[in-house]
Amino acid sequence: MALRKILLGAVLLGSAALPSSGEAPKKEAAPAAKSFTGATANLAPGDAAGQWTRQARDYANTRYSPLTQINTKNVGRLRIAWSFSDGQMYGHEGAPLVVGDTMYLVTPYPNIAYALDLSKPGAPIKWVFQPNPDPRAIGKACCDKVLRGWAYADGKLIYNLLDDNTVAVDVNTGKEAWRVKLDDVTKGPTMTMAAFVVGDKVFVGSSGGELGTNGWFQALDVKDGHTVWKAFTNGPDDGALIGPDFKPFYSWMKGKDLGVSTWPGEMGKQGASAPWGWVSYDPDLNEIYYGTSNPGPRTPSQRPGLNLWSSAVFARDASSGAAKWAYQFTPHDEWDYDGVNENVLIEIPWKGARRKVMVHFNRNGFAYTIDRKTGEVLVANPFGHQNWAKNIDLTIGMPVINDAAHPIVEKKVTNICPPDIGVKNWNPSAFSPRTGLLYAGVFNSCMDLNNHIVQYIPSSPYDGMEMQRHAGPGGNWGDFIAWDPVAGKRVWSIKENLYVWSGAVVTGSDLVFYGTMDGWFRAADARTGKVLWSQKLGSGITAAPMTFVGPDKRQYVAVYAGIGGGAGVLRRERGFMPGGNTLYVFSVDGNGIGNGTTQLTQAGAPAPVSVPPAAAHN
């Protein structure tokens, strides 16, 4: 398959119409539209515009697609072109990949992979791969038996199994190429994150923030899965690959073996700090960035100290794993504010110069714009309702905590905002280099919290938080927002009934797509926040949408409707839908390979693919 690589340097505004293997080169890019902030991104590796070969589409994690066939004028005509039900009922969180003429899907546990042939009517199954993970993993995964995505590289589909194996499937045969066991699931850790590939390495991390695990992150070789490097989050510096290159920006993160000394005794070893979220990569610095989970146990009075390196972000050399800097968002986390959310790599104008930064919406309710060369926090402002901290003191990079927000053992403390699940969770945001804004689904809620002392019993939760969550000010549980990462403020927001727990994708035609837990899949104008189209689906949406161009040269948008994962905390709320497992694929007027009279040929015979009417091309 001809996956044409377009090597881009820093891609600037107006790169909307990259030629692609799927899409005929168009007249010209949309007229250079005005950016709200002047922020841009390097869209490396610069895949062909119609393809979607990695979860966030690019290394920077922008989820920006340059496609423009579907635009603000015709988006109202989106209809279902075809759908695919995978039969598994746990929460669906990942986005399909499209590589060449094939779509790849992987289900939540038991992690079955499907390859669908997009060149044939109805996108029939090319192959199915069943890895049969250990069922004991079911009882160890904290927040449903999910998988947040999968990766494509070197002719292989690579993904994590809930039972702590990473597996690679040969995409030509559908057979297992390799499988490596990375931990012992019976002790508590699981794997739920999307494997992330750069060059010859696959980056994976462990889950299990509530299970007293010892979180780790590693680079595997794409060829055979062997471990190239491995870094524990906590513990001594050598195990965490913290050496002479490690230069955190703030002094309180400097010192020897802080992953040991900021915990009582040996508690760092059961301190979780599991890197279960997203990975991003800067090809110029050859650095990867990823975050770590809450510390264990969740009851903070049992672990006095900063608890490094929980609830933090690491910058590491991608080749050696050597830590370059780290930043702990929530020192001595008392509320379960994991630091694993996506780090979106962008360039912003800052005090007369351009800075390479990452933007990170933390569970704790602050959106951080951080210099990714140094770890210096430039902006940290609330992006939703929170009351645990007065502000982040930028001179020392530390939160100023509100006294009323500290939990107390065996006493109910009311109205701490946000609750454990945060103002936003792992659901990935999108960034448009055209508008210079980020787009994210966010939560509006608080908790009444009663803490309990817990003992460490291997393979059981090391937790201790008992809470009731309730909606925050205004009574709506969530919003979908546009965020200015330079000024640190909301540009617009759309109110939703429940948490907005889907990912987002934004296009070259300034459309942003997201889904709601009550089953609406929406497209909004990325500049104004006006909802231009909505379609009710068969289940709530907690997955990331994506968009691609099929072999028929038509642009499609796809999303799974299969509510689950952490969103299950609202399962008793009005509007929460039953589970599901259907991938919906949309096109203008629903035209394409999934319907129409020309498709109704006898079973098995290849049917001609209808050519889209001119109207479908804008």
Q: Does 138 bind ligand HEC (CB under 6 A)?
A: yes
Output 139 or 613, the one with its CB closest to ligand HEC.
139
Q: Does 457 bind another protein (CB under 8 A)?
A: yes
In whole angstroms, how close is the CB of 140 to ligand HEC at the nearest point? 6
* CA angle, 423 then 425 then 428, to 5°: 115
Give how many residues touch another protein by CB under 8 A. Answer: 21
Output 320 or 460, the one with its CB closest to ligand HEC.
460
Q: Does 186 bind ligand HEC (CB under 6 A)?
A: no
In whole angstroms, how close is the CB of 412 to ligand HEC at the nearest point? 24
Q: What residues have CB less than 8 Å from 336, skipping those under 6 apart?
A: 209, 294, 298, 363, 420, 421, 465
Of 210, 376, 496, 510, which residue is the catalytic one?
210
Answer whether 21's CB lies under 8 Å from 48's CB.
Answer: yes
Output 170 or 448, the one with its CB closest to another protein.
448
Q: Does 458 bind ligand HEC (CB under 6 A)?
A: no
**Pick from 493, 496, 483: which is nearest to 381 by CA?**
483
Helix H or strand E encompassing 261 = helix 258-261
Q: How far apart are CA 175 and CA 181, in angstroms?
A: 18
Residue type, 340: V
Figure out which of the listed residues 460, 534, 610, 618 binds ligand HEC, where binding follows CB under 6 A. Answer: 460
Binding span for another protein by CB under 8 A among 61-69, 321-329, 382-390, 462-470: 462-470
Of 336, 342, 479, 496, which residue is the catalytic one?
336
In whole angstroms, how close is the CB of 100 to another protein at the nearest point? 37
Binding span for ligand HEC by CB under 6 A among 48-56, 138-146, 412-420, 436-444: 138-146
Output 400 or 453, the one with its CB closest to another protein.
453
Binding span for ligand HEC by CB under 6 A among 4-12, 137-145, 473-481, 544-552: 137-145
Output 248 or 461, the one with its CB closest to another protein.
461
Q: How far apart are CA 42 and CA 61, in angstroms?
A: 10
Q: Does 255 bind ligand HEC (CB under 6 A)?
A: no
Question: Has 347 been annotated as catalytic?
Answer: no
Which of positions 207-236 make contact with another protein (CB under 8 A)? 210
Question: Has 210 been annotated as catalytic?
Answer: yes
545: preceding bond cis by omega (within 30 degrees)? no
Binding span for ligand HEC by CB under 6 A among 5-13, 135-143, 398-406, 431-439: 135-143
Which of positions 436-455 make contact with another protein (CB under 8 A)? 452, 454-455
Q: Name the token pair of 421.
A: 């699940």
Q: How far apart are CA 423 and CA 404, in angstroms?
A: 19
Q: How far apart are CA 409 and CA 411, in angstroms?
A: 6
Of 294, 381, 427, 450, which residue is the catalytic one?
294
* Pairing assessment for the beta strands 156-160 and 151-153 based on DSSP bridges: antiparallel
Could you say which of ligand HEC, another protein, none residue 142 binds, taking C-beta under 5 to 8 angstroms by partner kind?
A: another protein
In whole angstroms, how close is the CB of 164 to ligand HEC at the nearest point? 15
Q: How far apart are CA 142 and CA 550, in angstroms?
A: 37
In whole angstroms, how close is the CB of 463 to another protein at the nearest point? 4
In whole angstroms, how close is the CB of 141 to another protein at the nearest point? 7
Q: Name the token pair of 508.
A: 């070259």
Helix H or strand E encompassing 258 = helix 258-261
Output 189 or 375, the one with its CB closest to ligand HEC.
189
In whole angstroms, how close is the CB of 137 to ligand HEC at the nearest point? 10
Residue type, 12: L
* Pairing assessment for the beta strands 216-221 and 227-232 based on DSSP bridges: antiparallel
In whole angstroms, how close is the CB of 157 to another protein at the nearest point? 26
Residue type, 502: S
Figure out which of the listed residues 9, 25, 76, 139 binds ligand HEC, where binding follows CB under 6 A. Answer: 139
Q: Name the token pair of 69.
A: 């066939």
Q: Name the token pair of 584.
A: 């919906």
DSSP string, 434-498: TTTEEEEEEE-EEEEEEE------TTS----EEEEEEE-TTS--EEEEEEETTTTEEEEEEEESS
Could you say which of ligand HEC, another protein, none residue 58 binds, taking C-beta under 5 to 8 angstroms by partner kind?
A: none
Residue type, 231: A
Query: 253 by DSSP, 3-state: which?
Result: helix
Could you say which of ligand HEC, another protein, none residue 476 binds, taking C-beta under 5 to 8 angstroms by partner kind?
A: none
Question: Has 589 been annotated as catalytic?
Answer: no
Helix H or strand E encompassing 281 = strand 279-282
Sheet containing 582-588: which strands, arranged edge to edge? 78-85, 582-588, 555-561, 546-549
Could you say which of another protein, ligand HEC, none residue 334 binds, taking C-beta under 5 to 8 angstroms by partner kind?
A: none
In whole angstroms, how close is the CB of 188 to ligand HEC at the nearest point? 8
Output 460 or 535, the one with its CB closest to ligand HEC.
460
Give the x-and-dash track for 405-444 against ligand HEC (CB under 6 A): ----------------------------------------
Output 80 or 138, the one with its CB closest to another protein.
138
C-alpha 335: how far from chain center: 21
Could you say which of another protein, ligand HEC, none residue 300 binds, taking C-beta under 5 to 8 angstroms by partner kind?
A: none
In whole angstroms, how close is the CB of 106 to another protein at the nearest point? 20
Give the x-and-dash track for 130-159 against another protein (CB under 8 A): -----xxxxxxxxx----------------
501: preceding bond cis by omega (within 30 degrees)? no
Answer whether 450's CB lies under 8 Å from 437's CB.
Answer: no
CB atoms within 10 A of CB 71: 18
Q: What residues have CB less than 8 Å from 580, skipping those under 6 apart?
A: 89, 92, 537, 538, 539, 540, 561, 562, 563
Task: Kindly list the residues in this chain that would bind ligand HEC in the complex (CB under 6 A).
Answer: 138-140, 460
Chain residues in the site for another protein (CB under 8 A)? 135-143, 210, 452, 454-455, 457, 459-464, 466
Positions annotated as catalytic residues are 210, 294, 336
